[in-house]
Amino acid sequence: MTKVGFIGLGTMGLPMTKHLIDAGYETFVVGRSRGPIDKAVTLGAEEAASPKDLIEKVDIVMTCLPVPQTIIDVYEGEDGLIAGAVEGKIVIDHSTVNRETNEHVAKLLAEKGALFIDAPVSGGPMGASAGTLTIMCGGEEEAFEKALPVMKAFGDYIVHVGPTGSGTVVKLLNNMLIGVHQSALAECYIMAEKAGVDPAIAYDLIKRSAGFSKSMDWSVDAILDRKFDPRFSINLLHKDILLALQLAEEVNMPLDLIRLGEQKVAEAKEKYGEQDVCAIVRPLEEKTGTVLKRKG
């Protein structure tokens, strides 16, 4: 059976790795933090000494890392993935970065005969735990078809979008919308409260109406129960929106509403950057003197 490797055992990567193990894949891992590595080993993974050592042991490597520079750190260098890549290896990056990073590492891997897929995921830690992630893939069709059975271990909607970087484009579109949606929802919920309507009732009705967005499901309970532990942090969202704005400049696309959303996300980041994206509501709560809490 195909041997696989995973690098980046965070809130997304660790449950994705568990699904690979549960699906019967011999799984190798590398990470910076001892705790997640120990947990993965407890689940049945084997620890590799370095990214280079890991890719030499497996057929397919998956990475899920926070920022473009982390990708460069893991992929390049004498102990990096590229150093150990040979013909036939497949590397899948589930990170949310930018097309430039995708194209850069794809080129270096291609020079070694290896294939690359940019495959950012959506669904949050809940989707990762449930194995129901949406995966948007860019790269060669050959690589996608070979990797598809492995990705099915943790994804239930997996699409080949187009050439290298295409999956990243769709993910950046998705995340720039999150910034706008969460900013608008903050105004919506607080307006309901100030007008004497229970935000939970407003949510329930809007969910059945044309104004609904999936961001409402993500945020309403966390806001009303004051649970802002990060499933997806404001810091990471802001990073993604800036990458989306960079892409917009590359393709000469004005993004007026997205820029307004970015301002709201940046404002929340100043004080609440480590908290979940639903905490975007908190600066507006402070400005209006209105704290949203569940009734009863």
Q: List residues with catalytic annotation.
A: 171
What is the C-alpha to C-alpha distance for residues 25 and 207, in angstroms, rounded to an integer? Answer: 40
What is the full DSSP assignment across 138-162?
Answer: EE-HHHHHHHHHHHTTTEEEEEEEE
- Rounded distance, CA 121 to CA 56, Å? 25
- How many alpha carbons lie under 13 Å from residue 90 in its C-beta half-sphere? 24
- The two three-digit tokens of residue 9, written as one number: 């055992």
C-alpha 242: how far from chain center: 15
From start to end of 2-84, where are the E strands? Answer: 3-7, 26-30, 46-47, 60-63
Count the alpha carbons within 13 Å of 42 in the hemisphere toward its beta carbon.
8
| 3 state SS for 218-280 | HHHHHHHCCCCCCCCEHHHHHHHHHHHHHHHHHCCCCCHHHHHHHHHHHHHHHHHCCCEHHHH
Closest CA to 168 of 109, 265, 277, 246: 246
For the beta carbon of residue 285, count every other beta carbon within 10 angstroms.
17
In whole angstroms, what is the distance from residue 183 CA to residue 259 CA? Answer: 12
